[in-house]
Amino acid sequence: MAVYGYLLQRHFWDDGGYTAIFLQADDAEVEAVRRTFPGHVPPIKAAYRAELRPGRSPVDKDTGGPAMILSVDALDPEGDTVEAIGKWYAGDAVTGHYTFSLKKVDGEWTIEDVK
């Protein structure tokens, strides 16, 4: 949640005319992110609603418009710390990632460092 929240606040999609932000996550995670960011523009959707085309922007199956995919890959936690990579993808020319160090504080994962 912490990494998706960070990525969603970066606004990678502001100049791209994207009609959706797809999350590569299970349905419960997607719903949790939607609750945290209600009314997000563009709307947050599950990745299975995206049509993937090699080398080109993903397409929102609902609108036919271009979309962006966000994903998070996390290692297994070591005690109260974990490393994760947060990625965005909207075609070969619009892609990137951040590396995160997270720490568990009061039962919640918080971002300690971003590179």
| Interval 69-93: pLDDT, tens | 999 999 999 999 999 999 999 988 8
Angstrom distance (rounded) from CA 96 to CA 26: 22
CB 43 within 8 A of CB 1: no
Burial class, 83, CB count within 10 angstroms (exposed 0-12 / middle 13-18 / buried 19+): middle
Strands 44-46, 20-24: pairing is parallel
pLDDT of residue 45: 96
Angle at 15 between CA 11 and CA 19, to 5 degrees: 80
pTM over 0.75: yes
pLDDT higher than threshold 90 for residue 54:
no
